[in-house]
Structure 1
Amino acid sequence: MTGSTGPQQLPLVLPHEEALGVDDYLVSTSNQAAFNLISNWPQWPSPIVTLQGPIGSGKTHLVNAWQELSGAQIVGGDELEFLDITALAESGPIAVEDLHSGFDEASLFHLFNAVRLADGNMLMTTREWPNTFELKTKDLESRFRAATPVQVQEPDDMLLRMVLTKHFADRQVTVDSSVIDYLVIRIERSLDAARNVVNLLDRHALATGKKISRVMASKIMENMDE
């Protein structure tokens, strides 16, 4: 007689909210200059800063860290044409994210001028340097040149190792250092990739009831590559 088995019980995965404050920001040589500039606010070289970096390099975390320090309002570059620019500039520090995704030139030009008139500060983020933008407003080029540029590079091995370790620790999951070493040299060079692989490993470990190992990490990486 064959015994019946009930349906497999899926693990309860509690939502994990990533901490994005100043104290949660992990620093290595790849982001040291950008972190120093952001954390030195309001002692900036100029009222307006351009933060450039590739996707997954941690620009959004830096923006959130600066918001914690300054109380800045965060808007997308593609939102500017729908906003009251003067009121925005007078409300306090402003962060404008993702200029590479597009923006209304007249609105951004107005915002540059309004921020300076209000003795305010503005942080802009972009994947590409502004000198690569095909601008129709020539005066906007000079405004970009007057801003302080700072770059955050793609994560190096040290930063990826720290980020992976922190994500596992945040989930109260202990893994062997060999697992971290294995992942560091194989995942995409981005903080998003580090977060995603930890999430996948945590879910798989809960579903199978097994401890996260190098073998499990290898299987997860194979599935991610398919």
Structure 2
Amino acid sequence: MTVRANAQPEQLVLDLPHRQAQGAQDFLVSSSNAAAVELVDSWPHWPRPTALVVGPAGVGKSHLANVWRLRSEAALVAAQSLAETAVPVFEQRRALVVEDVDRGIGNEQVLFHLMNLAREKSGSLLLTSRVAPGELSIALPDLRSRLRATAPVAIEPPDDGLLRSVLVKLFSDLQLAVEPHVVSYLALHMDRSMEVAVQVVAACDRLSLAMQRKVTRAVAAAALAAVAPQSDDGPDVGEDDTV
């Protein structure tokens, strides 16, 4: 699909594959996230019952995990909150997302047990982390060994093409016509994060309305100054699906 922004005097056209993220905003695909998208799309035909998606904050790990959650009818739990209550939930659904294992695991024995259950009962576990398995701080030797044997699928920071396309789409969703040089300016100066892109475009919208003018480079600069370059990369899920 061609992503277009009604920019004047020239029209900005960026060609990137496009897929609908189930139950969420459109998810744009590029070389930076293609492997992780393929992992989600290939379920339930995974080569191993446990998959690990690795990438820095703000690259869309939670977004893709949510796509898989909706597709597989999985439950979700933050790794820090992992407890024995997750076991019967997994046994019922045979699918579970465990978010942010790099931030600490509430019960390492439970995660090890879940990984064994996934293998024994043909279930699926999707783990997310900001760091590779070898960099995780794991006390339980068996779990540490099992995680290090899990081949990670990486999501890299968005490349130029993907970041520009995301900005164009976000502006288009708000029915804002933004010239190509403004999009280029934002892509060059903003933090390379999907969450920051959302925040920056929202700030541009607010400033544009307050100033009663279109989104110019000056408005874009003010929006960048107003947005803190940080993201919690938190999941966007419903309460009923959280363990």
Pairwise TM-score range, normalised by the shorter structure: 0.7 to 0.9
Aligned partner of 1:216: which letter?
Answer: V
Q: How many residues align?
A: 208
Answering whether residue 225 of structure 2 is matched by residue 216 of structure 1, we say no
Which is higher, the Rg of structure 1 or of structure 2?
1
Structure 1 residues 136-151: aligned runs within 5 Å: 136-151=139-154
Q: CA–CA distance in 2 between the matches of 1:105 and 1:136?
A: 8
**Structure 1 residue 72: deviation in Å?**
1.5
Equivalent position to 1:48, from 32, 47, 50:
50
Q: CA–CA distance in 2 between the matches of 1:189 and 1:106?
A: 36
Equivalent position to 2:66, from 48, 64, 67:
64
User: Alignment RMSD, CA only?
Assistant: 2.0
**Structure 1 residue 208: deviation in Å?**
1.7
Q: CA–CA distance in 2 between the matches of 1:93 and 1:223?
A: 40
Partner of 1:98 in structure 2? Answer: 100
Superposed CA deviations along residues 116-161 of structure 1, whole A, max 9, x for unmatched, are 2221011000001121123221111232134342000111111110
Q: TM-score, normalised by structure 2?
A: 0.79
Partner of 1:188 in structure 2? Answer: 191
Partner of 1:16 in structure 2? Answer: none
Q: Which runs of 5+ in 2 are unaligned?
A: 1-19, 230-243
SS of 1:96 mapped into structure 2:
strand
SS of 1:54 mapped into structure 2:
coil
SS of 1:175 mapped into structure 2:
coil
Aligned residues of 2:55 and 2:156 also touching (Cα < 8 A): yes
How many percent of aligned residue pairs carry the same amino acid? Answer: 38
Q: CA–CA distance in 1 between the matches of 2:139 and 2:31?
A: 36
Aligned residues of 2:69 and 2:75 also touching (Cα < 8 A): yes
Tell which deviates more after alignment, 129-138 or 174-183.
129-138
Aligned residues of 1:179 and 1:214 also touching (Cα < 8 A): yes
Instruction: Mark the CA change 1:225 to 1:47 in structure 2 (over 3 Å): closer, same or farther.
Output: closer
**Structure 1 residue 94: deviation in Å?**
0.8
**Structure 1 residue 20: deviation in Å?**
4.6
**Structure 1 residue 224: deviation in Å?**
4.2
Q: CA–CA distance in 1 between the matches of 2:148 and 2:226?
A: 45
- Structure with greater strand percent: 2
Q: TM-score, normalised by structure 1?
A: 0.85
Answering whether residue 200 of structure 2 is matched by residue 197 of structure 1, we say yes
Aligned partner of 2:203: which letter?
Answer: L
| Structure 1 outlier segments of 4+, above 6 Å | none
Instruction: Mark the CA change 1:100 to 1:134 in structure 2 (over 3 Å): closer, same or farther.
Output: closer
Aligned residues of 1:73 and 1:92 also touching (Cα < 8 A): no
Tell which deviates more after alignment, 88-97 or 42-51.
88-97
Q: Which runs of 5+ in 1 are unaligned?
A: 1-18
Equivalent position to 1:38, from 40, 48, 53:
40
Partner of 2:232 in structure 1? Answer: none
SS of 2:189 mapped into structure 1:
coil
Partner of 2:27 in structure 1? Answer: 25
Q: CA–CA distance in 2 between the matches of 1:225 and 1:71?
A: 34
SS of 1:153 mapped into structure 2:
coil
Answering whether residue 121 of structure 2 is matched by residue 130 of structure 1, we say no
Aligned residues of 2:76 and 2:97 also touching (Cα < 8 A): yes
Q: CA–CA distance in 1 between the matches of 2:49 and 2:94?
A: 12
